[in-house]
């Protein structure tokens, strides 16, 4: 099983910050920072990630690293780009709905609400 390592301690020390300094900068408790650094944390919220990245001037990729299991064929987790419609290219935030199809788990097909509407219009025109 792959493992996710947290580089918070190294990044914090590179900025010559103590946990108490980072805690004051971010509003994240020193206990939570310590748990992240020692690998005892069970999870982390997006708002916490944002605060840490902003305070340290780093990216999520710098904050965490995926260490694949030597026995596995590839990583268990992969970063993906935000989905966009496979037909018109509009991003998730540009449409009211984005639906994913089951064409392939590696290369899913997305269709937005606008393209669904266009398809329905074409189907209705052919039915008449």
65: left (phi over 0), alpha (psi -120 to 50) or beta: beta
User: Domain 3-67 belongs to what topology?
Assistant: 434 Repressor (Amino-terminal Domain) (1.10.260)
Residue 36 corresponds to which tokens in the numbers above? Answer: 């992240």
Residues of the chain with pLDDT under 70: 1, 71-82, 98, 101-106, 127-128
So what's the pLDDT on residue 72?
A: 60
For the chain, the domains span 3-67, 92-127
59-83 pLDDT, tens per residue? 988 998 877 777 665 555 555 566 7
So what's the pLDDT on residue 60?
A: 87
So what's the pLDDT on residue 128?
A: 61
């Amino acid at each position: 099983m792959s493992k996710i390592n947290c580089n918070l301690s190294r990044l914090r020390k590179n900025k010559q910050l103590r946990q108490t300094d980072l805690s004051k900068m971010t509003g994240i408790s020193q206990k939570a920072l310590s748990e992240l650094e020692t690998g005892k944390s069970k999870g982390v919220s997006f708002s916490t990630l944002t605060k840490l990245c902003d305070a340290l001037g780093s990216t999520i990729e710098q904050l965490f690293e995926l260490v694949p299991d030597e026995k596995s064929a590839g990583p268990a987790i992969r970063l993906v780009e935000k989905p966009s419609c496979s037909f018109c290219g509009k991003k998730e935030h540009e449409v009211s709905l984005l639906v994913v199809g089951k064409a392939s788990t590696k290369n899913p097909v997305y269709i937005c609400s606008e393209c669904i509407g266009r398809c329905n219009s074409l189907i209705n025109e052919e039915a008449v």
